Structure 1
Amino acid sequence: MAAVQRALWYIESHSGQALALTDVARAAGVSTFHLSRLFQAATGWSVVRYLRMRRLSQAAATLADGATDILDVALSAGYGSHEAFTRAFRDAFGRTPEEVRKQASLDGLDTVAPLRVIEEPAPALAALRVETIGPLLLSGVSRPYRASDTAGIPAQWQDLFGQLDGRAPTAPAYGVFAAGDDDGCVEYLAGHPISRLAEALPGHHTLRLAQRRYAVARHAAHIGSIPLTWRAMMDEWLPASGLRAIDAPDFERYDASFDTATGEGGVDICVPIE
């Protein structure tokens, strides 16, 4: 059921664009009928309903954060008018956009979080390689996640690209798990290298990574299955190699072969070691 994984990734990474079922099916590589059957079986949702509820949930979060122009939020969610958006929003959540903006929270709203379906096995690994990487100064968009649920990361990259006027960061780009806590929350930075702090865009977070040695594994499958490769890296491949991880940020490195439109192409998983 790799088509469902591809469809979910495409929806999350293109949610700010006008999407139809045919667009999602094309990205998933199957017919609309086939995708509809597979998606419903895997998630319990229809593709169209999931897409609509994800957009309305994102709109609700934007309103709760204090968005000043409801029409702009409506247009971003794919609605052509304030009235159509308000009807759909009230049907979904039982409240109007104005009410959610006024209460400044999502309390009481049954919003829909990103789904993740991991369907592909991690690729076989011939051997880890060791690289010295850094120092790096990165600039980008940083967000917190629960370690068990990072399905919002594709939309985070979409936000970064949008802030760069649609241009992907100069390769390589970096997805850094920069911090964690005892409650299982992590901070993830989607960013790109800069040479000095003055190059960072307004509102962007910056992060310095010291020069270190890293154990590096290549993830060559679709990006949606990268959690499986991460799990194999930490649970099997690294312990078997005799290398020891240290307490420092690890990251994904997206080189020029990675296709941001399809989620295909190589990604390096880099774990700091002694």
Structure 2
Amino acid sequence: MDHYGRIQLAIEHLEQHLKEPFNIKDVSGAAGFSAFHFQRLFQAITGFTVLEYVRRRRLTEAASALRNTATGVLEIALNYGYQSQEAFTRAFDAHFGITPARFRKLEQVLLAEKEWQQSIDFNEYRSQLGTTFHMNPPRLVTLEPIRITGYEYQTHLNNEQHYAEIPGFYYEFGREQKFMKIPDRIRPDMAYGVAAHFQEDGAFSFIVGEESAGSGDSLEPGFTSLEIPGGLYAEFVTGGSEQDVRRMIYGSWLPASKYERREGPDFEVTDVWKSSPERLDMKIYIPLK
């Protein structure tokens, strides 16, 4: 079964348990993915997070219950994961622009169609693939293990926070000359950005650094050392926005390929001397199996 079919299994699991406490590990497990990788795939394909999808689905089903049943507002609120009627009212009003009580009383309420979140069918995304994939295919390369030492920053998938923050990590790393604190630098002209230490809630580390021959035993606070595993990687050359390239990789190329992403960090390499503020000479590497 391909990525789209597997994600659809997760959606079906989620729909069956929509009134229960949300557990990303259970949902992603239904698709056979790690929690972090499932969230990254889902967000790249749909354009919004799993948590945002769950929130929209619950509010949509709550609106349907308000319109079509006599169930009390408090009971509906509790059914769809809200701790109080007040919290539910705030969320409902923020999303639909009307309170649950007023919505129920009015004979006709026209809610913008875009605000209703119906259950996703990932077959539709599969059928759109041919019109959304616009990038050169990657080069498949087999790499030896690479030892990286760098400064560890914290970021998150939620609200695409990582796309907004990562450029600042590079800027701060260079402005503060943190590269000078890396022992036994091997290739000072090549800057690495490594996504690692993935958490189930979407948090992860982004390490900006360089290849190093040091052991990593006596690093300054904030610095870390890790080994990028050897093996098969897809090498993508960025021809524009890194954000757009990563969306294409996880939202189009990987789901349509015969490969799966294996465990371990993905990373990017920038040739400092060939790059300019207008164009980065960057390659992105995704571990495959």
Q: TM-score w.r.t. structure 2 length?
A: 0.46
Normalized per residue, the structure richer in helix is 2
Based on CA coordinates, which of the two structures has the bigger radius of gyration?
Answer: 2
